[in-house]
Amino acid sequence: MQIAESARDAIDGFANSKGRSTRHLLLGLGLTAGAVLASALIARANAPTADNPEVKRQYDQLDKPPITPPERAFSVIWPPLFMALTLSGLRIWNAPASPARTQALTLWGVVQALNAFWMAIGPRHLGGQLATSVASLGTSAVYAWRARQVDGPAAGMVAPYVGWLGFANVLTEELWRRNRVNATIH
């Protein structure tokens, strides 16, 4: 009994779920992990890998800036960021009901949708990727600000994601600048 109680205390501390039912905790975990998993699957389906030869060919044809990380870096960077996003959303889900919590959860959901859309656009639509990336950075920063008002650790967990998006914005803008087709007006 002591072990189960200690385990629940550890989970409550990690997930900000003290006073919440196991059902509430599991529902929140399912929703947050499901949303992040959907984004991750969309990212994987549109990643420039051997599994996606058309996307890889499009990506390989881009004039990439020197700040572009090696392809294998993304498989090291994204999983912890997705895990932190999941836990951040879960901590907000488990916070006491309030307008700030509702706003933070809404922003968290928009961050997930923008992330999925950004990944799905692919390298053929760098302008769309850039616009989505900028929107994602702004929304993520507002989410972190709002999450801080609900649960400080949840906001801290999303900070590395916001930082990565800042870098991704610089990289995406540079990719767009180097590879845009100069349109003529007729």
pLDDT of residue 183: 45
| Amino acid sitting at position 84 | A
| Cβ partners under 8 Å of residue 132, min gap 6 | 114, 117, 118, 121
pLDDT of residue 182: 54
- Tell how far CA 114 is from the center of its chain: 8
What are the structure tokens assigned to 38, written together?
A: 């959907």
Torsion of Cα atoms, 105 then 107 then 109 then 112, to 10°: -140
Q: Please check whether residue 6 lies inside any domain of the structure.
A: no
Distance of alpha carbon 141 from alpha carbon 69, whole angstroms = 23
Q: Please check whether residue 91 lies inside any domain of the structure.
A: yes
Q: Please check whether residue 12 lies inside any domain of the structure.
A: no
Q: Residue 21 phi/psi, 5° resolution?
A: -75, 160
Cβ–Cβ under 8 Å, residues 100 and 150? yes
pLDDT, tens only, 149-174 = 999 999 999 999 999 999 989 998 89
Distance of alpha carbon 146 from alpha carbon 152, whole angstroms = 10
Q: Please check whether residue 7 lies inside any domain of the structure.
A: no
Distance of alpha carbon 85 from alpha carbon 150, whole angstroms = 15
Q: Please check whether residue 175 lies inside any domain of the structure.
A: yes
How many helices (H) does the chain have, and how many strands (E)?
7, 0
Cβ–Cβ under 8 Å, residues 133 and 169? yes
What is the domain count for the chain?
1
Q: Please check whether residue 134 lies inside any domain of the structure.
A: yes
Domain of 45, in residue numbers: 29-179
pLDDT, tens only, 38-95 = 877 887 777 766 777 887 788 888 888 999 988 788 778 888 998 898 899 999 999 9
Q: Which CATH number fits the domain that encloses residue 41? A: 1.20.1260.100
Q: Residue 96 phi/psi, 5° resolution?
A: -60, 145
Residues 93, 140, 102, 156: is their CA dihedral positive or negative?
positive
List, as one string, the DSSP characters of 52-79: -HHHHHHHHTS---TTPPPHHHHHHHHH
pTM: 0.81
